[in-house]
């Protein structure tokens, strides 16, 4: 493409050359190769002004508008849209990232309680509980109060806010990273809920070369207030059995 453009420029440049300019062809065979055409110094000088005129023509040409960059628009979901396995996996990933971020805020001296509440409200279906039902949460590090269902109990477990003395604040251990391996995901017929089980691996800040292995099961539904978001109605977490 560049060769074509250059040829056009050169052709048009010669169109501007005054008739008095002499271009003298001189045949020469460099190192026994093909003949080449040499142009005299006077001819080159005669081309300077025409090439400058061509530059002015291109400078005056209207600029071609660039195509705007395409952006991906988030697809809105409704409560009737079936939940997909990809959505379930993304929801588990977001939960793991949130746990790490609570620890980051804690280490930096920020308002980690506010960040924990934000995490709980984002990932657990407190906005979608029907009358007579409750959220089902079985935390990993709970032996006396094995199950949790209300906001205060969730906060107590994640940051040790004093509701139960056994809670040391799981999310403010803190953790540098959380990765997970999915064992399997089950989407109910019709897609109104998705359940997934697997193992997540927590990297503690105090021992970044180690990992803590924990088993998990999450069940998700679509949020009634924002159906594009999946929220947890059941969360079971435990350490593997040890002989």
Q: Give the DSSP letter string of 169-187.
A: -GGGTTEEEEEEEEEEEEE
For 53, left (φ over 0), alpha (ψ -120 to 50), or beta? alpha
For residue 222, what are the β-bridge partners? 230
pLDDT in tens, 119-171: 999 999 999 998 899 999 999 999 999 999 999 999 999 999 879 999 999 99
Question: What pLDDT is attached to residue 26?
Answer: 45
pLDDT in tens, 7-63: 444 444 444 444 444 444 444 454 555 554 444 555 445 545 554 554 554 445 454
Question: What pLDDT is attached to residue 120?
Answer: 98
Spatial distance between the Cα atoms of 135 and 147, rounded to a whole number of angstroms:
10
pTM of whole model > 0.85? no
pLDDT in tens, 172-214: 999 999 999 999 999 999 999 999 999 999 999 999 999 999 9
Spatial distance between the Cα atoms of 108 and 103, rounded to a whole number of angstroms:
9
Name the burial class of residue 190, with classes exposed (0-12), middle (13-18) and buried (19+) by CB atoms within 10 angstroms of its CB.
Answer: exposed
């Amino acid at each position: 493409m560049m060769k074509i453009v250059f040829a056009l420029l050169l052709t048009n440049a010669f169109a501007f050359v005054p008739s008095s300019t002499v271009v003298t062809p001189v045949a020469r065979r460099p190192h026994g190769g093909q003949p080449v055409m040499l142009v005299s110094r006077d001819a080159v000088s005669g081309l300077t002004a025409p090439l400058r005129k061509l530059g002015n023509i291109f400078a005056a040409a209207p600029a071609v508008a660039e195509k705007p960059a395409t952006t991906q628009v988030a697809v809105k979901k409704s409560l009737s849209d079936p939940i997909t396995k990809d959505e379930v996996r993304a929801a588990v990933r977001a939960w793991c990232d949130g746990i790490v971020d609570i620890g980051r805020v804690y280490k930096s001296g920020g308002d980690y309680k506010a960040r924990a509440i934000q995490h709980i409200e984002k990932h657990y279906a407190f906005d979608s509980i029907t009358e007579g039902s409750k959220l089902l949460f079985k935390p990993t590090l709970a032996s006396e109060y094995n199950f949790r269902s209300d906001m205060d109990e969730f906060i107590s477990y994640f940051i040790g806010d004093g509701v139960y003395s056994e809670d040391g604040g799981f999310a403010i251990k803190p953790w540098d990273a959380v990765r997970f391996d999915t064992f399997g995901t089950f989407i109910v017929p019709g897609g109104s809920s998705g359940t997934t089980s697997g193992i997540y691996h927590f990297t503690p800040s105090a021992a970044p070369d180690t990992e803590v292995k924990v088993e998990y099961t999450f069940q998700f539904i679509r949020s009634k207030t924002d159906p594009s978001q999946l929220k947890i109605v059941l969360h079971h977490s435990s350490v593997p059995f040890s002989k």
